[in-house]
Structure 1
Amino acid sequence: MCPGNNESAGKRKSGKTPQGNRWLRRSLIEAAWAAARTKRTYLAAQYRRLAARRGKRRAVVAVGHTILVTAYHVLHQGCPYADLGADHFDRLDPQRLTRHLVRRLERLGHRVTLEPLAA
Structure 2
Amino acid sequence: MSQSLLIISRQSPWSGPSAREALDIALAGGAFDLPIGLLFLDDGVFQLSHAQQPAQLQQKDLSANLKALPMFGVEALYVSARSLEERGLHEQPLSLAAECLDDTQLSALIDRYDQVITL
TM-score (structure 1 length as normaliser): 0.22
Higher RCO, 1 or 2 (CA under 8 Å, sep at least 6)? 2
Name the TM-score, length of structure 2 as normaliser: 0.22
Select the structure of larger CA radius of gyration.
1
Structure (1/2) with the larger strand percentage: 2
